[in-house]
Structure 1
Amino acid sequence: MATEDAPTWIEAGAKAPAFTLTADDGQKVRLSDLKGRPVVLYFYPADDTPGCTKEACAFRDAQAKLAGSEAVVLGVSPDDVASHEKFRDKYSLNFPLLADPDHKVADKYGAWREKNMYGKKSMGIQRSTFLIDADGKVAKVWKRVSVDGHDEQVLNALAELKANS
């Protein structure tokens, strides 16, 4: 289990941990099936909460710009498929939301961490994003993401990735 004292974040340059998760449409999504395209894998705490909604809608609205990079956006939270389906439909999200109810994938990436809110410690998702290049290596990591402007940071990193490939 990751804690702030013993971080286990996956870092840039590492091979992205493999995963298979169920998406909001019931389909299985495997990282290995996306090889050859960049992947924006973002972890968020919960469906239909203010920050998570703002982040998801920013990625939704950036899809036209993301298309130029051929990037695949995947949102991951511990919520179940039914919750993801409602969240997707409510906000017309145009990318898959993946269910990680046992937080195994979040653990692999280091996004499942000890959090401290109002003096109460608990485990949960630390809002974070991993840019995985077309070869399956982690190109960039954003830890403790601030939602405002994050979509632009990701678009800039994708443009840099494309320029360097």
Structure 2
Amino acid sequence: MVEQGKKAPDFTLPSVNGESVSLSNFIGKNVVLYFYPKDMTPGCTTQACDFRDQYDVFEANNTVIIGVSPDAPERHAKFIAKYDLSFILLSDEEQRAAQLYDVWKLKKNFGKEYMGIERSTFLINAQGELVKEWRKVKVKGHVDEVIEAVKKLQ
């Protein structure tokens, strides 16, 4: 389970270029780890583009952005190319990281129940500790909240 003030759970997932990426690779940098339901959907596209548009601010604050969804690496590659995303997207097809961070939830849509990602963001400091979490994220204005929290880490 994930808990603020504690070490963030480590995981290793494939990136779009086929290499395995571990959260622990980023010790020494702050990490914005965000889980989202699906590439190319309206809310997820808006969120990704909001992070893209503020990428320089995150970089200036020693912060890496990592997006995670159940989509396959090939779909992530198309998403990155279509929207010129400048950060890492990882594929969690078996929901291992999603379960570690307790974001794999029962959801309802138009009366149908299914398992899926609950849009969530986690801020991890340069020592690998979880310092803030946002659950059931609403996209509008979210990236600004994350930037504000990142700036407080400096």
- Range of TM-score over shorter length: over 0.9
- TM-score in terms of structure 1 length: 0.90
> What residue ranges of structure 2 are gaps of 5+ in the alignment?
none
- TM-score in terms of structure 2 length: 0.97
- 1:13 alignment partner, one of 1, 5, 8: 5
Cα deviation digits, residues 76-121 of structure 1 (max 9, x gap): 0000000000000000000011000000100000111111222322
- 1:28 alignment partner, one of 20, 23, 27: 20
Moved over 2 A (4+): none
What is residue 75 of structure 2 aligned with on the other side?
Answer: 83
What is residue 4 of structure 1 aligned with on the other side?
Answer: none
What is residue 153 of structure 1 aligned with on the other side?
Answer: 145
Answer whether contact 1:11 1:141 (CA < 8 A) is retained. Answer: no
Answer whether contact 1:24 1:88 (CA < 8 A) is retained. Answer: no
Q: Which amino acid aligns with 2:39?
A: D
**In structure 2, how many angstroms separate the alpha carbons of the residues matched to 1:15 and 1:150?**
24
> What residue ranges of structure 1 are gaps of 5+ in the alignment?
1-7
Residue-pair matches, total: 154
What is residue 54 of structure 1 aligned with on the other side?
Answer: 46
Cα deviation digits, residues 6-33 of structure 1 (max 9, x gap): xx6x231121111111112222211111
What percent of counterpart residues are identical?
Answer: 47
Describe the SS at the equivalent of 1:161: coil
